[in-house]
Amino acid sequence: MRTDLAVLGAGPAGLAAALAADARGLRVTLVDSAAEAGGQFYRQPAAALRASRPQALHHQWPTWRRLRDGLAASGVVFLTDHHVWCVERKSAGFTVHALLGPEQEEPVSVHADAVLLATGGYERVLPFPGWTLPGVVTAGGAQAMLKGGLVVPGRRAVVAGTGPLLLPVATGLAAAGVEVAALVEAADPGRLARYGPALAAKLPEGAGYAARLLRHRVRLHTRHTVVRAHGEDRLTGVTVAALDADGRVRPGTERHIPCDTLAVGHGMLPHTDLAESLGCRLDGPTVAVDDEQRTDVPGVWAAGESTGIGGAALALAEGHIAGVSAAARLRGTAPEPAAAALKSLSRLRSSAAALDAAYPPPAHWADQVTDDTVVCRCEEVTAGAVRGAVEELGAGDLRTVKLLTRAGMGWCQGRVCGPAVAGLTGCEPTPSRRPFARPVPLGVLARAGEGD
Ligand SMILES: Cc1cc2nc3c(=O)[nH]c(=O)nc-3n(C[C@H](O)[C@H](O)[C@H](O)COP(=O)(O)OP(=O)(O)OC[C@H]3O[C@@H](n4cnc5c(N)ncnc54)[C@H](O)[C@@H]3O)c2cc1C
């Protein structure tokens, strides 16, 4: 298949980009691993569930309707269930390699003059004793079960960790009939006040969540953390404790909360695999872009959470700017002036930066991780082994820790355990340099070389 622009990811950023480029005359192919468009924020229930009121689980439904209807009326070719594992640079353009369907064994290629990366982000999960028990899920995972599967993860939940995502998760679960025993937020509300001006636009949204928490009688514990999840073969409760100003657990403040579900998350990280394998420059953990959302690799744009965690509104604005730029640049012209869009972008970015600074993971979270806690779930590597790699075997960087322990060598390739291993060892997080964004069957790799 040939196209002018391959947009990878059909969340808010990818949808806005695809529609902007299509409206300006490009042939656009939109590729996503999910069965429906929408990404994380507008995740839709599976069609077979025949949800009668899907909007009940969503904010900003009119925006979603506009995107959905725009896509249906556009010339965009939308490929669902396509898992992109690599984008290859060719002498002219790019080849997008994907695997089809849930089995992810059948290869498909899309040849494009340019690519736009809109692959979003994923949750940062930090380990603690008991976190591998059935009943412990990520906050976004609980949200995905609710929005995508119309199911709740349990009857009595604690929502914990840090970050603004905990609010929609707690209120969403409560509205769906789950008894939310507590919302345990590590951040200090005083920090939020410090970023007042940058967060002013978020106040109405925050007030709305506060009202919903009150209505559902959800107890909010700020500057608290979960120190242990309890249970034999599934979760029966958690111990939470207060944090001091330095982010250390205050001894004597522990309390037990019975629950069958713990939805836990510590903020989000951008997906950068495809950008990294294309050789795009990163700025810290995010893909670096200019004010047209161009990366430093000619013909590659990036938008949405892969360029920085900032919420759906920012992803939409960046996607639009990227789509407009790609349409113009592929025709050899400059994009139409977008002063208003750039102004709103800069406002949204400063409020995203303020949120990021206001919700750091607790500084001393690693103190709570006992040596027998599994850190890398794929390879079943404990915190003790990871610490031993540094303290006894002399590892001084993450790659050596990985080679000595196998932490990060499994199915997820360190996406889940990477931040935890960095935090436990004190090693500097480094780019992953994964050649592939997904596990790929050897037969597919062998055939990919044929005819080239
Ligand atoms: C689990 C989770 C739950 C969230 N819930 C909320 C919420 O309730 N409220 C809120 O305000 N914000 C939420 N967020 C944040 C929200 O996702 C973003 O603000 C917004 O959706 C970002 O839009 P995006 O287009 O950049 O990325 P996304 O919406 O994440 O879209 C990225 C798309 O790329 C696709 N993709 C990624 N990699 C590949 C690949 N290799 N091949 C093919 N397709 C790929 C994904 O399937 C996805 O559809 C959540 C984030 C996560 C990770």
- Name the residue among 127, 132, 139 with its Cα closest to residue 264: 139
**Residues of the chain where predicted confidence (pLDDT) is lower than 50:** none
Residue to mutate (ligand 1; options 15, 96, 119; most atoms within 8 A of CB): 119
Residue 195 has what pLDDT? 77
Kindly state if the Cβ of 33 falls inside 6 Å of ligand 1.
yes
Kindly state if the Cβ of 10 falls inside 6 Å of ligand 1.
yes
- Name the residue among 241, 258, 253, 263 with its Cα closest to residue 181: 258
Distances (CA, A) of 15 to 8, 171, 414: 10, 27, 29
Kindly state if the Cβ of 227 falls inside 6 Å of ligand 1.
no
Four-way CATH pick for 125-266: 3.10.20.90, 3.40.30.10, 1.20.1430.10, 3.50.50.60 = 3.50.50.60
How far is ligand 1, taken at its centre, from the CA of residue 310, in Å?
11
Residue 452 has what pLDDT? 55
Kindly state if the Cβ of 13 falls inside 6 Å of ligand 1.
yes
Residue 129: strand, helix, or coil: coil
Structure tokens at 134: 């059935």
User: Helices 398-405 and 383-391 meet at what angle, rounded to 10?
Assistant: 120
Q: Are 286 and 307 in contact (CB under 8 A)?
A: yes
Residue 172 has what pLDDT? 94
Measured CA to CA, the distance from residue 33 to residue 84 in angstroms comes to 7
Measured CA to CA, the distance from residue 177 to residue 218 in angstroms comes to 12
* DSSP labels, 54-122: GGGG-SSHHHHHHHHHHHHHS--EEE-SEEEEEEEE-SSSEEEEEEETTTT-EEEEEEEEEEEE---EE
Atom of ligand 1 nearest to the CA of 438: 41
Angle at 61 between CA 58 and CA 65, to 5 degrees: 135
Q: Using CB atoms within 10 A of its CB, is residue 236 exposed (0-12), middle (13-18) or buried (19+)? A: middle
Residue 451 has what pLDDT? 59
What's the distance, Cα to Cα, between the start and end of the chain in Å?
A: 16
Nearest CA residue ID for atom 13, ligand 1? 41
How far is ligand 1, taken at its centre, from the CA of residue 309, in Å?
10
Look at the chain and count its residues. 452
Say yes or no: do domains 2-122+269-336 and 125-266 share a fold.
Answer: yes
Chain Cα centroid distance, residue 140? 8
Q: Where are the domains of the chain?
A: 2-122+269-336, 125-266, 369-425
Residue to mutate (ligand 1; options 7, 36, 41; most atoms within 8 A of CB): 41
CATH superfamily of this structure's domain 2-122+269-336: FAD/NAD(P)-binding domain (3.50.50.60)
Kindly state if the Cβ of 168 falls inside 6 Å of ligand 1.
yes
Atom of ligand 1 nearest to the CA of 274: 41
300 phi/psi in degrees, rounded to 5: -120, 120
Q: Would you put residue 388 in left (φ > 0), alpha (ψ -120 to 50) or beta?
A: alpha
Kindly state if the Cβ of 181 falls inside 6 Å of ligand 1.
no
Angle at 392 between CA 391 and CA 394, to 5 degrees: 75
How far is ligand 1, taken at its centre, from the CA of residue 267, in Å?
13
Measured CA to CA, the distance from residue 279 to residue 95 in angstroms comes to 15
Measured CA to CA, the distance from residue 417 to residue 386 in angstroms comes to 11
**CA dihedral sign of residues 270, 266, 85, 435:** positive
Structure tokens at 376: 């890398």
The CA-based dihedral angle spanning residues 189, 193, 195, 200, taken in that order and rounded to the nearest 10 degrees: 110
